[in-house]
Amino acid sequence: MLKKDEIYEEETKGIKLFCPICKATKIVKVSKEIVKNSESILTISVPSNYMCEHGFQAYIDKWYSVRGYQRSDLELKNLEIYETGHKIIDDIATYGVSLVIKKTINKLKDDVKDGVILGGALFNQKGHVLYYSLPDEIFLNIIRQFELQREEHEVKLKKMIFELKNNQIIYSEFLNVEDTILTIVILFPGIFGISNAESNFNDFKESVMEYEDPIELKKKEQLRMKKIEEAQKRKVKKKGPSNFWVYSKITSEIPIEELENIYIDKLGIEINKKNILNLEEIITISKSKPFEGKIYFSDKFINLMEGLALTMKDASTLLSKLNKKP
């Protein structure tokens, strides 16, 4: 369990922020360790009602200077700090890693907003903070805990679980994503308990780790196209659209396209046109003269007729005329 003095002691730097809308001001404390390890601009996301009624984002550099402000499109419960810029992503960038980072940050935000968790953090394999929304009094020392544990266990540690005096659970795990190590930290409410926190963390991890590698997607697409090409080749080799046909005339005073059932002269029976595969050919020819030729039937329809042949005369008649030249 973390001791109180291990949680609350950390060197911080106060940064004076101005609301870009109403010009309200407030000093926000930021861990010097975060700024020191930052390789790009840090984003501080200030929720509404934290220093005024407005929510906004502030951008600071390594010298604690505010580089700009932007009004937030999304309001969040806790103060958030995360790193922006291309360099830190380029250090770890593969499609899978960048996607896991994006999904993890989005899910941490959603779960905090929904009240499922109290906050979270994400670190890359160099220990740089990619994102955090943990309460300051916890986060400002969690980095120290990580460093101590890393040194003692020589980065062989897989997970860490701390139970605070108020029963809140800090759950952290090192994840291997395409040969890259990411560290996720989640703060669970005291009502969870260690076993439920672990179960919820596993669900969280499973949801953010679900992605498809672009190489695998390309392979699947190539396989799909190959199957389509093979199916088309098999279709070309066939003499007709089906193995089952009857040679007959179709005489009808009503345009065939308006009929539901088509009368087959040679069979002396009507057949629903959805069972005829070369229907478009028949309709086209019948517009200028009565159709006479092969009428192709679907395999499914013929299988049905074979099952009814012993009990239905029309089915027996159809089967007796199949594939016979005039």
- For 279-316, give the DSSP string: HHHHHHHHTTS-EEEEEEE-HHHHHHHHHHTTT-HHHH
- Residues 180 and 116 reside in one and the same domain: yes
Judged by average pLDDT, the poorest of 55-69, 103-117, 247-261 is 55-69
3-state secondary structure of 271: strand
Report yes or no on 193 lying in a domain: yes
Which residues are CB-contacts of 18 (< 8 A; sequence separation ≥ 6)? 24, 25, 66, 69
Residues 53 and 128 in one domain: no
Q: Is residue 4 part of a domain?
A: no
Strand pairing class (119-123; 180-188):
antiparallel
> Tell me, what's the pLDDT at 295?
92
Overall pTM surpassing 0.85 (yes/no): no
Question: Residues 17, 151: one domain?
Answer: no
Contact criterion met (CB below 8 Å) for 35 and 42: yes
Q: pLDDT grade, residue 84 (50/70/90)?
A: very low
Domain CATH number, residue 223? 3.30.450.240
**How many Cα atoms within 13 Å fall on the side-chain side of residue 140?**
18
Instruction: Give me the mean pLDDT over the 179-206 stretch.
Output: 84
Give percent above pLDDT 70 in the chain.
Answer: 73
What is the tens place of the pLDDT at every residue in 30-62?
Answer: 777 667 766 566 777 777 777 888 878 787 877
The DSSP annotation for 17-83 comes to: EE-TTT--EEEEEEEHHHHHH-SS-EEEEEPTTSSSS--EEEEE-TTS-EEEEEE-SS--SS-EEEE
- Nearest Cα neighbor of 20 from 47, 57, 45, 48 is 57
User: Quick check: helix, strand or coil at residue 85?
Assistant: coil
- How is residue 155 written in tokens? 């980065």
Cα gap 138→117, rounded to integer Å: 14
Domain identity same for 127 and 224:
yes
Q: Is the pLDDT of residue 79 over 70?
A: no
Q: Do 188 and 115 share a structural domain?
A: yes
1 part of a folded domain: no
In Å, how far from its chain's centre is CA 314?
53
CA distances to 121, 133, 170, 207 from 145, in Å: 14, 17, 11, 27
pLDDT digits (tens, 9 = 90+) for 16-26: 888 888 888 88
Q: From CA 246, how far away is CA 325, in angstroms rounded?
A: 8
Question: Rounded to whole angstroms, how far apart are CA atoms 55 and 46?
Answer: 6
Distance, in Å, from the CA atom of 112 to the CA atom of 162, rounded to the nearest integer, reads 19
Instruction: Return contacts of 140-143, CB within 8 angstroms, 24+ apart.
Output: 140/8, 140/10, 140/12, 140/29, 140/31, 141/2, 141/6, 141/7, 141/8, 141/9, 141/10, 142/170, 142/185, 143/10, 143/31, 143/33, 143/34
Same domain, 37 and 72: yes
User: What is d(CA 30, CA 140) in angstroms, rounded to the nearest whole number?
Assistant: 8
Residues 128 and 192 in one domain: yes
Shared domain check, 229 and 102: yes
Q: In which domain, by residue range, is 36 found?
A: 9-85
Task: From 178, 213, 237, give the residue that closes a domain.
Answer: 237
Domain co-membership, 154 together with 231? yes
Name the band, by pLDDT with cuts 50, 70 and 90, for residue 151: low
With bands split at pLDDT 50, 70 and 90, how would you rate the model's confidence at 74? very low
- 264 with 156, same domain? no
Residue 91, pLDDT score: 45
Contacts of residue 301, defined as CB under 8 A and 6 or more positions apart, other chains included, come to: 275
Are 102 and 187 members of one domain? yes
Could you tell me which of 71, 53, 69, 61 has the C-alpha nearest to residue 30? 61
In a domain? residue 326? no
- What pLDDT score was predicted for residue 241? 64
pLDDT at 90: 40
Q: Into how many domains does the chain fold?
A: 3
